[in-house]
Amino acid sequence: MKEIKIFDTTLRDGEQSPGCSMTLEEKVKFAKQLEKLNVDIIEAGFAASSEKDLKAIQEISKNVERPIITSLARCNKNDIDKAYESLKYAKKKRIHTFIATSKIHMQDKLHMSEEEVLVKVREMVKYAKSLCDDIEFSLEDATRTEKPFMAQVIAIAIESGANVINIPDTVGYITPNEYADIIKYIKENVPNIGRVELSTHCHNDLGLAVANTLSAVAAGITQVECTVNGIGERAGNAALEEVVMALKIRNDYYQATANINIKEIKNASNMLVDITGSYIQRNKPIVGENAFKHESGIHQHGVLQNKNTYEIIDSSDLGIEEDNIVIGIHSGRHAIIKKIESMNLEIDLANIDDYVQKIKKYLEENKTISDDELREIVSKGKVKSKSIFN
């Protein structure tokens, strides 16, 4: 079973989300949580973007021991020098340099020809390698890059010293099958590809970031770039928690594993929400408020008999111990009885259907019911000394 390295870019790409900027102290705090999560690589920032980012990368490097710390840099000497300076305290360091390779980016943003881009890749990857042993090279907008040119760029980057080649779906354009085909093409058409690790970095503009990432895993990549809660530019990045749990639950299919401490996933998610104020939707997989809750009577009955009937993940594995049965308008008799039992309330067994009707009527008017409200409804009935559950 192959090991997938988790490259977390919450502190770089994630922080670029509108409204998600963090203070230096918050970045260091979150980096420590990422270390608890056991991520392999932390992309701590983009040093050339500001002095604040450079200082933050340095502080993170001082406070984090195990993960590789990486700093992003465009393919120019100033960016690479700043990245190297930002990593001077890192125990394990990586310079991550990139250049756009799609026609639209080269022509309309960089105003460079293919030949000029190839020269720049060769020069700047070599320069980065002269400063740091561990170099990652990314082809920005790779999924809209012509494949023969992509193969040329990658071959030159490897010859120039890159250790990791990243194939970003920068604008969230690709589909899973197409992405797998790109990985296959690279493996078959870049002669020196066996000397490096292949990485994926997917954006979620069409809601396909996680699907594309997993497709790349199936196609043979060994590093995944992602963010906690899927935050990032525009619609965000592939969500770390979704990728990791998909690999865990479906390792029979992917034959791959990530060395993530899943007990810390929920803590990381909650901390990020607290820091950024960027709340996640209730039905967000893995970390959403409703991810392990059941209101439907049919589902509740099944779960009460055997959790595996409707749950493919044991929430306690994620450190989530809360009650997963929610009393709502669709709840059935079994769930309501179970809820009353959990509250240690005593009621008249003969009148249980009356209680159910009263609770349902309350929910028709109020949509939700708290434990206190449930207790009040039950207490208005005839209380007997013998519990319904004895």
pTM for this one? 0.87
Query: Which of 73, 383, 75, 4 lies closest to 225, judged by CA?
Result: 4
Tens digit of each residue's pLDDT (9 = 90 or more) over 289-305 = 877 766 555 565 565 56
Tens digit of each residue's pLDDT (9 = 90 or more) over 213-253 = 999 999 999 999 999 999 999 999 999 999 999 999 999 99
- What pLDDT score does 335 carry? 73
| Calpha distance 367→328 (Å, rounded) | 7
- The encoded tokens of residue 19 equal 């409204």
3-state secondary structure of 138: strand
- State yes or no: pLDDT of 389 exceeds 60: no
Q: Report how far apart, in Å, the C-alpha atoms of 51 and of each of 8, 12, 24, 58, 98 are.
A: 22, 14, 11, 11, 20
Scored b (16 or more CB within 10 A) or e, 270-289 reads ebbbebbeeebeeebbbbbe
Tens digit of each residue's pLDDT (9 = 90 or more) over 92-145 = 999 999 999 999 999 999 999 999 999 999 999 999 999 999 999 999 999 999
- What pLDDT score does 349 carry? 62
Say if domain 2-276 classifies as CATH 3.40.50.300: no
Would you say 121 and 101 are in contact if contact means Cβ atoms under 8 Å apart?
A: no
Each domain of the chain, given as residue ranges in start order, spans 2-276, 297-379
Tens digit of each residue's pLDDT (9 = 90 or more) over 267-279 = 999 999 999 988 8
- What pLDDT score does 323 carry? 62
Confidence label for 87 from pLDDT (cuts 50, 70 and 90): very high
3-state secondary structure of 74: strand
- What pLDDT score does 175 carry? 98
Confidence label for 371 from pLDDT (cuts 50, 70 and 90): confident
